[in-house]
Amino acid sequence: MMNIFALILAIAVVYSGLSWAYRLSVTTRGSANQISAESSAMQQSRAQRLPGWLDTPASLFPLLVIVLLVRAFGWEPFRIPSGSMMPTLLTGDWVLADKYSYGLRNPFNQKTLVATGHPKRGDIAIFTFPQDETQLFIKRVIGLPGDKVIFNPATQQLTIFSACKANQPCVAPLAIHYSALKSGEFVETAGAHPGFYVRTLGEEKASEQRLLMGTETLAGVTHRILQKPDSIVSASQFYHQPGQQPGEWTVPANSYFMMGDNRNNSYDSRYWGFVPEQNLVGKAVAIGFSMEKQEGQWPTGLRLDRIGRIH
């Protein structure tokens, strides 16, 4: 999948680079044709007489090169469009993703140029949606290649067997700890397009349902999760992997199983399958900016207290 923004940025870099080279050649040629006593100010004046459509891009060339390199191989901001990663990430957060943790990649087709690492359980990963690579998703890494992942819809808890071997019984599951669920600070509005609001306990409206909050400790990474009270999803709605029972999946090689922290409001690997390694874009490491916002609505304020490391 070609990254359109990266392509546009690369074209801008090439155009500004050619403009810069032309301006440099004009300056150099003009300097050679003048007597040695001519002031540098007059030479600069000639260069500045280039038309604006050449001179302005030439001036931007160094900046555009830096932006291209940082965006391609360093860090890039991403906006959180929905509540699927609540309470860790909220709609309106802008997260900073490092793009080198999972390998230095060609910015145009995401092919790995230099392998630097792989996702770990508990990472928050940004990736292109396998069923529509024009969309970016952000979820938590739950299952690694070879893992057997089991999700119990009744308890809404995970069981993971690490690197099960084909046609052999799995050994003891990984240790996953869940805290007791308690009424949290968030409520969800009813309707086809739910909104999530902070409400003091007991002040929720008739159309709002208070969500339960707890923690899940996976591979030493403790993060908060949200659940709807008394909500059970049928395993028949999940993605069915051939040869597996409903609600059970074996992660293929070079692929990952992803889930959102807002467990009843996340369209994730339970419903559409696995994320191939080549779809990975980066690892979310910090919140750089945050706006008070609901999905599909205009921002109503700022949440500057959310800026910082992701917890």
pLDDT digits (tens), the chain, 311 positions: 445 666 676 787 787 878 878 777 877 765 555 544 445 555 555 545 667 777 787 788 778 777 776 666 677 889 999 999 999 999 999 999 998 888 777 666 667 777 778 999 999 999 999 999 889 999 999 999 999 999 999 899 999 998 776 666 777 899 999 999 999 999 999 766 678 999 999 898 888 999 999 999 998 899 999 999 988 788 889 999 999 999 999 999 999 999 999 999 999 999 999 999 989 989 999 999 999 998 888 889 999 999 998 97
66-70 long-range contacts (CB < 8 A, ≥24 apart) are: 67/9, 68/6, 68/9, 68/10, 68/13, 68/107
- The pLDDT value recorded for residue 73 is 67
Residue 101: name the closest of 122, 79, 130 by CA: 122
What is the distance between the alpha carbons of residues 145 and 195, in angstroms, rounded to a whole number? Answer: 34
Which residues are marked as active site?
84, 139
- The pLDDT value recorded for residue 190 is 77
3-state secondary structure of 5: helix
- The pLDDT value recorded for residue 6 is 64
Residue 105 has which token pair? 């990649």
- The pLDDT value recorded for residue 30 is 55
> What DSSP element (H or E) covers 182?
strand 182-189
Residue 238: name the closest of 230, 226, 246, 249 by CA: 246
Q: What are the φ and ψ backbone dihedral angles of 222, each rounded to 5 degrees?
A: -100, 125
- The pLDDT value recorded for residue 206 is 86
Q: Which amino acid is at 150?
A: I
Q: Are 137 and 129 in contact (CB under 8 A)?
A: yes
- The pLDDT value recorded for residue 99 is 85
Residue 64 has which token pair? 């555009």
pTM > 0.85: yes or no: no
CA 172 to chain CA centroid, Å, is 32
Q: Are 80 and 92 in contact (CB under 8 A)?
A: yes
Residue 32 has which token pair? 């050679």
